[in-house]
Homo-oligomer: A and B are copies of this chain.
Amino acid sequence: MKFEPVTIKDIGKALGLSTSTVSRALRGSYEIGSDTKKQVLEYAEKVNYRPNPIALSLKERRSRSIGVVVCEIANNFFSQAINGIESIAYKRGYNVIISQSSESYEREVVNVQHLASRSVDGLLVSLSSETTDMSHFINLHEKGLPIVFFDRVSNEIITHKVIADNYKASYDATVHLIKNGFKKIAHITAAPLLSITKERLDGYKNALLENDLPFDDKYVKYCSHGEKVAAEIKDALTNLLEMKQKPDAFVTAHDSITIALLTTLKKLDLKIPDDFAVVGFSNSNIPELINPTLTTIRLPAFEMGQVATELMIQIIESKRPITEFETRVLTNEFTIRDSSGFKLQ
């Protein structure tokens, strides 16, 4: 009843050879006679022999698998990124083991330990929004486990990183709104600790300053966006709408925030872009179907996953330890649609 694949030992027994001979024949070693080699190869083919990856992992201390740590799988950006990861990993013969932190530091730590103990050959990481202490990564990294960060990175570890040009994206978005006549632009963004949050905030801030508009803290709202983004957005929005100088436009720094904002505005029966203009970071596949069509910054999620995985495999398969690391910055797709149309005077 059990699942019993054929082993190298079985082949040896069947052919009257030792396991070492079979092993060598299978790997095409020069010290095996061509007759024996052919015999083994043919028999192995016949019985559909597949080397046991578990045994190989134990022996070689590598598993040909890559661990992925993200905060959420069911998210446009990350599922697209995972798609990119999987596409490269598959081609290169690696398995992908996925775990999600749900934006929790503790879950992140547990997941990372779990993956490490499963002997993944490397870790592809996008940090949780709670993470400040990086020691769980630093420990493993110092012991030689390759780590590549993407999207949400940290500068506490020197390794390959793959990010989008967040600064430029929110800079461009903000400038675009300014050009269209909006002057009181609010920024609703993710958790303050994240690298993406800082970069996007800087872009927004500098766009304002360079266009002689004031930067005001009160126009910046942070949403940690765990399970309850909608509620957070509503609070933030209520807060913004109660201001004497209420904003006339929003730059949202995250897909779920964008959606929550649009939903909230719609519930309050506020018009876009007449009451408020919106430019959102979003990897949604239907910005054109939203009413009004949504001006978006789309992150190159798929490519980010691909590049991160390529860099990872490069490290894993490198003979000599890698000392030169790079930070790959990919460009976003900024598409202007109706939600950021000209301000009515």
| Residues on A facing B (Cβ under 8 Å) | 1-5, 50-55, 57-58, 61, 63, 65, 72-76, 79-80, 82-83, 86, 90, 95-100, 111, 113-114, 117-119, 140, 143-145, 259, 262-263, 266, 284-286, 288-292, 302, 321
A100 to B2, CA, bound (A): 27
Task: For the complex, give the distance between the alpha carbons of A100 and B119 in Å.
Answer: 23
What number of copies of this chain does the assembly contain? 2
Q: In whole angstroms, how far apart are the Cα atoms of A5 and B83 in the complex? A: 31
User: Can you list 16 A-B pairs, Cβ within 8 angstroms, ordered by A?
Assistant: A3-B144, A4-B143, A52-B117, A53-B117, A55-B58, A73-B73, A73-B79, A74-B83, A83-B100, A86-B100, A90-B111, A96-B97, A96-B98, A286-B290, A289-B291, A291-B292
Q: Is the CB of A119 within 8 A of B83?
A: no
Bound complex: CA of A325 vs CA of B99, how far in Å? 29
In the assembled complex, the Cα of A97 lies from the Cα of B63 at a distance in Å of: 13
Query: Across the two chains, which residue of chain B brings its CB closest to A89?
Result: B99
Which residues of the partner chain B approach A74 to less than 8 Å between Cβ atoms?
A: 76, 79-80, 82-83, 302
Q: Roughly how many angstroms separate A98 CA and B79 CA in the complex, as a whole number?
A: 12
What residues of chain B lie closer than 8 Å to A266, measured between beta carbons? 288-289
User: In the complex, what residues of B have CB within 8 A of residue A2's CB?
Assistant: 61, 143-144
Name the residue among A2, A3, A82, A119 with the largest chain B CB count within 10 angstroms. Answer: A3
A113 to chain B minimum Cβ distance, whole angstroms, is 7
Query: Which interface residue of A73, A80, A284 has the most chain B CB atoms within 10 A?
Result: A73
Per a CB cutoff under 8 Å, which of B1, B95, B119 touches A144?
B1
Q: Would A82 and B90 be within 8 Å (CB), given that A58-B54, A266-B289, A289-B259 are in contact? A: no
Contact B286 A119, beta carbon cutoff 8 Å: no
